[in-house]
Amino acid sequence: MPIQDWLLGLRAAENALGEKHFHDLAGVIMRFQVQLSILKATEARFESSLFDIHQLVQADLFDSELDAAGALIKSGFLRAGGVIAGVVLEKHLRDVCNNHTITVHKKNPTIGDLNDTLKDANVIDIPVWRHIQRLADLRNLCGHNKGREPTNDEGVELVGGCAKVTKTLY
């Protein structure tokens, strides 16, 4: 029996002995449970779709920022390009921590802090951790006066390494 019919007061027919041919309330409850399951599945699918859209928009934004960083480096603005690439890497590592429901305890964590947190949570292995550490060192060279200027090769390595991390680590 459809739920609407039951709500309108229609009930299962009775035989000559006054017995119902089927238990109408049980049928309504079964149909309601099916509809509730459909709604729950829809909610989960909706959340998943929103997550996918967020990931796509974020990836496009990171690509644009890394393109800008690469253009700055190509034009000789090594520090500015390196700092932008470092910001992209830091934001991405924070997103990776969120995706894996990893709590970051520092209020303003650095690339190194996020990298260590991901390694400690077994999200990344030692070679990936070392690669990200190298990128953090290059970003610091670009962002701070360390006694020497970053080289063009280091700037290109930083932007390329950040692009690789953002496309391979989720």
Q: pLDDT per residue over 16-37, tens digit each?
A: 777 776 677 777 788 888 888 8
Q: How far apart are the first and last CA of the chain?
A: 48
Annotated domain spans of the chain = 51-168
- 3-state class (DSSP) for residue 145: coil
**Secondary-structure class of domain 51-168 per CATH:** mainly alpha
Residue 13 has pLDDT above 80, yes or no: no
Residue 7 banded pLDDT, cuts 50, 70, 90: confident
Structure tokens given for 157: 């390595």
Average pLDDT over residues 44-58: 77
Flag the least confident range among 21-30, 75-84, 115-124: 21-30
Nearest to 150 by CA among 164, 134, 126, 166: 134
Q: What is the mean pLDDT of residues 113-120?
A: 98
* pTM greater than 0.85: no
At residue 6 the predicted structure's pLDDT band, cuts being 50, 70 and 90, is low
The residues pairing with 20 across neighbouring beta strands, listed in sequence order, are 14
Q: Which residues contact 13 (CB under 8 A, 6 or more apart)?
A: 20, 21
